Homo-oligomer: A and B are copies of this chain.
Amino acid sequence: MDTNNFKPFDHPYVTVDVLIFTIMDGELKILLAKRDENPFKDTMVFPGGFVQLTESVEDAVKRIIKSKAGVKNLYLEQLYSFGDINRDPRARVISVAYFALIPDSAVKDWSQKGNKETFWYSVKKLPEMGFDHKKILQYAVDRIKNKIGYSTLAVGLLPPKFTLSQLQKVYETILGKKLDKRNFRKKMLSLGLLESLNEKISLGQHRPAMLYKFKNKELVIFD
């Protein structure tokens, strides 16, 4: 195939930004890293990096995630590509943003590894953030809020086994409002996506709860 008529020219860089969410202490939290150099030194930004010639965009995302922690079973979805001219003062940079959801339980493993430079922030109490990352974060939160209503995105925020109360808490946290327990259970169970494990867990000095799991494992995109 004749490909000799292609003339190289100056062109934009491409980065990936990875927005990793979890629910901790009843709040939706995002993982941010502190920048240790200019531009935007000492502000918080998403984990991310330049896409190399030798890797696909999605592989770049996975590389970033692995470099931060060996998280397994996470839900990963492309969010949007941000292509304005002056996003980065160093160079023309187009960023492909992804978001990932991890369960609270994975955060514990996370903390055990020495992720000194990264911290979890409630999306309601954000620090100063670099670049256009606050705008990107808002876009992601809107997407998650919207999509949880008609998808099984919540699975990404829960451990493999969970109670209906835990599931309800995930919805309530993301939607920012209380839900009726009976209606919630009725609907969830009627969707046929959950499978009872006939196994109970005791989470305090009260009646133990039945554990469930999601039937569909397709939801795990990045294992």
Q: Which residues of A contact B (CB under 8 A)?
A: 1-3, 5-6, 8-14, 37-39, 50-58, 60, 78, 80-81, 83-85, 89-92, 94, 96
Contacts and interface: CB of A to CB of B under 8 A. Distances in A.
Q: A-side binding surface: helix, strand, loop or mixed?
A: loop
A53 B1 contact: no
Indicate how many identical chains form the complex. Answer: 2
Contacts of A92: 53
Contacts of A96: 81, 83, 94
Given A81-B57, A81-B96, A83-B57, A1 B39 contact: yes
Contacts of A39: 1-3
Given A11-B14, A51-B11, A81-B96, A6 B90 contact: yes
Given A58-B83, A81-B78, A91 B6 contact: yes
Contacts of A37: 2, 5
Given A14-B12, A57-B94, A83 B51 contact: yes
Nearest 5 interchain pairs by C-beta: A57-B83, A6-B90, A2-B38, A81-B81, A3-B90
B6 A50 contact: no
A85 B207 CA distance: 54
A3 B39 CA distance: 7
B1 A51 contact: no
Nearest to A53: B92
